[in-house]
Amino acid sequence: MLETWNRQLQDLGLTPGEAQIYTALIRNGALGASAIASVTGIARSSVYPMLNSLVEKGLLETGASYGSRFVVVPPEQALPSLVAREREALRRQQQLAAETVEQRDRLARDLGDRLSSIAEPVETTPDELIQVIRSPRGVAERVERLQNEAKRSIEVFIKAPFFLPPGNPAEEKTLRRGLRVRAVYERAALDVADVKPYLESWIARGEEARVYEGELPHKLAIFDRHSVLVHLSMPGDQMRTLYIRHPELAMSLGAAFDSFWERANPIGVAGEKGTARTTQPPRKKKMQSHPARPSQVPSASRNGQVASKNNPAKVTSIS
């Protein structure tokens, strides 16, 4: 049976060594590189490139520290995702026939279910509370998974670079489920093609959005105040995203999010033109003992806010 699984994994695009390592981790649970080399008989110098390849393909996850153990992503999720990515790439190149895609989809689902049934349960250890995601594709898949798993709330800092597919289809499902989604947008992000065409529809569906006029410290996503994705810039052009499963740290980062949220300006949907805009209420005036001059008498603005000649309400069109 193991031989058959290895052969089928190769049919899905894995090398023989990658298939051997993957099934070894499924059968044994989380292992370090040295233990994997021992279990599979593959030289340790060859194990590392194969492990990195499996991580890039979204089949494995690993901790942030040196010597962390490797663990399989649930096969029933990872294997169909592997084929879906390959299908999209090959479809763009017009190299994969529709019937072949359907056949491989069936194989991926069937094999994923069978391997998942024998997978060894994994006990989380402290060094695995933080995982490093090294590819934009891996970040996009993790965000989608966490959006689907969230039960109460999602809070995000929005700034470049953007890894999600255009329109972020998973957010629409999230909002339909009744979750509270709050987003603080860096001003520079509002005109980016990944945001501008979709912002109005996100807000119309229920996203609470604000714009921060300065520079946000980093990309951030907090799920249920329990799990966190933090995107970090590294020396040179390298970038890494940390996935952190730690409620106390999530609560601390949530407090930081609340601080920026309070300092940001709300974004609403304008009436006639249907374009998103930011609004900032006028400052309260000190009480005066003498009557206001004619030029200081407040007049109603179009959106119902009160403005004056000397202190008008701020309305900034994003379109």
pTM confidence score: 0.54
* Window from 86-95, 226-235, 236-245, 249-258 with minimum mean pLDDT: 86-95
Is there a single domain that holds both residue 19 and residue 138? no
Residue pointed to by tokens 């999600």: 164
Is there a single domain that holds both residue 167 and residue 109? no
pLDDT band for position 115 (cuts 50, 70, 90): confident
Cβ-count burial 253-290 (b if 16+ within 10 Å, e if not) = bbeebeebbeebbebeebeeeeebbbbeebeeeeeeee
Is there a single domain that holds both residue 108 and residue 205? no
Question: Is 281 part of a structural domain of the chain?
Answer: no
CA separation for the pair 218, 157 (Å, rounded): 7
Question: Is 276 part of a structural domain of the chain?
Answer: no
Question: Is 275 part of a structural domain of the chain?
Answer: no
Question: Is 89 part of a structural domain of the chain?
Answer: yes
* Window from 142-146, 208-212, 312-316 with minimum mean pLDDT: 312-316
Question: Is 292 part of a structural domain of the chain?
Answer: no
CA separation for the pair 304, 41 (Å, rounded): 73
What residue numbers bound the domain in which 42 lies? 2-123
CA separation for the pair 176, 19 (Å, rounded): 39
Asked which of 105, 123, 141 is the last residue of a domain, the reply is 123
Is there a single domain that holds both residue 135 and residue 80? no
Asked which of 269, 294, 312 is the last residue of a domain, the reply is 269
Report the CATH number at residue 208.
3.30.870.10
Check whether 103 has a pLDDT greater than 90.
no
Is there a single domain that holds both residue 28 and residue 9? yes
Beta strands in 225-264 (DSSP E): 227-233, 239-245
Is there a single domain that holds both residue 181 and residue 138? yes
CA separation for the pair 47, 53 (Å, rounded): 10
Question: Is 71 part of a structural domain of the chain?
Answer: yes
Q: pLDDT tens digit string along 120-146?
A: 554 444 456 788 887 777 888 888 889
Who has greater pLDDT, 312 or 106?
106
Is there a single domain that holds both residue 155 and residue 76? no
pLDDT band for position 258 (cuts 50, 70, 90): very high
Mean pLDDT of 214-224: 92
Is there a single domain that holds both residue 231 and residue 181? yes
Q: pLDDT tens digit string along 53-97?
A: 998 888 998 865 566 789 898 888 889 888 887 777 666 655 556
The token pair that represents 116 in the structure block: 């998942």
Asked which of 80, 103, 123 is the last residue of a domain, the reply is 123
Is there a single domain that holds both residue 151 and residue 100? no
Is there a single domain that holds both residue 73 and residue 196? no
Question: Is 236 part of a structural domain of the chain?
Answer: yes
Is there a single domain that holds both residue 134 and residue 263? yes
Question: Is 298 part of a structural domain of the chain?
Answer: no
Q: Is the CB of residue 18 less than 8 Å from the CB of residue 2? A: no
pLDDT band for position 275 (cuts 50, 70, 90): very low
Per-residue model confidence (pLDDT) at position 47: 92
What is the Cα gyration radius of the chain? Answer: 25
Check whether 1 has a pLDDT greater than 60.
yes
Report the CATH number at residue 92.
1.10.10.10
Is there a single domain that holds both residue 245 and residue 196? yes
Mean pLDDT score of the chain: 78
How many domains does the structure of the chain reveal? 2
CA separation for the pair 125, 107 (Å, rounded): 33
